[in-house]
Amino acid sequence: MDEVIKTFHIDWKLLIAQLVNFGIVLFVLWKFAIKPLAKVMEKRSQDVEKSLKDAKKIEENLAKSEKERENKIGQARKEAQEIIEKANQQGELQSKQIVDEAKNEVQNMIATAKDQITQEKQQMLKEAKSDLGYLVTEATKKILEKTGKKEVDEKIVAESLRPFVK
């Protein structure tokens, strides 16, 4: 053993000095390189895993919302169609109604106008008859004043007027 120590000049002070050197290296490497690097690497792999998961989730959500949107659009389209149909039907109905009403009114108007015309005609006839009777009476009176008796005259007049006055 002594021989070895002598040959290789082993000195415990130097040995400890080298160990201290190594100790410094160990500490520095661990503190400044290995630990923070391992931490960063670990964190990064976690981050990547998480973001991959998130991306998958987002994609799923997107697909879901796309489907929903399509559904909604389809529904809206259907509803719009229904509304349009309803409106069309209503419009037809309404126009028909309006036309009908107009027709009715026209007919009513025609009827009332006819009535009025006949009434007026009758009244005119009546008036004409009474005028005519008066005229005839007056004329005959004037003639008969000059000729005969009053009662006879009246009788003749009434008889002659009978066909006209009913």
Partner 1 sequence: MDQQNQTENNVIGGEEINVSAASEQTSTGEQITHESTLYPEPVFHFSNFTITNSLLNSWVVVLLIILLSVIIKKKIKTIPRGIQNYAEMILESALNLADSVTGDRKKTMKIFPIAFAIFIFILLNNWLGIFPGIGSIGFVEHQGGEAIFVPFFRGSTADLNTTLGLALFAVIGSNLFGVVTIGFWKYFNKFINLKAFLEIPKKIKKEPTIIFVNPIKAFVGIIEIIGEVAKVASLSFRLFGNIFAGEVLLAAMAVIFAFVLPIPFMFLELIVGIIQALIFAMLTLVYFSIAATSEEH
* Contact residues: partner 1, CB under 8 A: 7-11, 13-19, 21-22, 24-26, 28-38, 40-41, 43-44, 47
User: Token pair 């987002």 is at which residue?
Assistant: 58
- Closest CB to partner 1 among 33 and 73? 33
In the complex, the smallest distance separating the C-beta of residue 50 from partner 1, rounded to whole angstroms, is 13
In the complex, the smallest distance separating the C-beta of residue 49 from partner 1, rounded to whole angstroms, is 14
- Report the distance separating Cα 39 and Cα 34, nearest Å: 8
- Token pair, residue 73, equals 């659009």
Is the C-alpha dihedral spanning 150, 151, 157, 161 positive or negative? positive
Length of the chain: 166
Secondary structure (DSSP) of 40-58: HHHHHHHHHHHHHHHHHHH
In the complex, the smallest distance separating the C-beta of residue 29 from partner 1, rounded to whole angstroms, is 5
- Closest CB to partner 1 among 16 and 83? 16
In the complex, the smallest distance separating the C-beta of residue 42 from partner 1, rounded to whole angstroms, is 10
- Closest CB to partner 1 among 25 and 111? 25
